[in-house]
Amino acid sequence: MLDLLKKHNLKREIPKEHSWMLQQLSSNALTLAGFSLTSLVFINTFVGNSVSPSLKSGMLLCTITFAVAGEMARTSYSLEEYIVSESAYFVSLVLLFYNGITLTYESLQTWGIIPIFAIVGGLLYVIWRTFANFKLLIKTQEQRISDSARLGHRRPAQE
């Protein structure tokens, strides 16, 4: 990866101490891509035609967007790339939760609304964690800019 940075003259804007966020986002997104694909195969194999085609296409879209978000996070070098990959991950999660609510409503009507509350609670937690990650990265970026200004270094955009 360092060879790629040097070869294309890329500069890492996200500090190494926060690179765990990129690794975690990448591994989570790629894992959920596999989960979505497995769910799609399971739905097609065992449930078959009793599930709406929109649910099947939604699961396929989840698989694709999770895979894209995971690859973008794995190869991101700037804060903007991280935000785009986190946004794609978030959209994928919303689709997955929507598909989960739809499947729950269609197949578990006798359970009432308890599974839907669990899914909505999970979605609210994901929203909270996403904003917390954005806040941490923006704070880190601002700290780096202020440290750079204090030391007398100028940013490349100001030169």
Task: Kindly list the domain boundaries of the chain, sorted by start residue.
Answer: 18-150
Token digits of residue 122 = 């999970």
Residue 153 clears pLDDT 60, i.e. is over it: no
Token digits of residue 15 = 């500090």
Residue 146 clears pLDDT 80, i.e. is over it: no
Q: Do 26 and 87 meet the contact criterion of CB atoms below 8 Å apart? A: no
Token digits of residue 80 = 């903007």
Residue type, 133: N
C-alpha–C-alpha distance, residues 59 and 99, integer Å: 7
What percent of the chain has pLDDT above 70? 78
Alpha helices by DSSP H, listed for 43-113, are 53-74, 79-107
Q: What is the pLDDT of residue 2?
A: 46
Q: Do 74 and 19 meet the contact criterion of CB atoms below 8 Å apart? A: no
Q: Do 22 and 42 meet the contact criterion of CB atoms below 8 Å apart? A: no
Q: Do 63 and 33 meet the contact criterion of CB atoms below 8 Å apart? A: yes
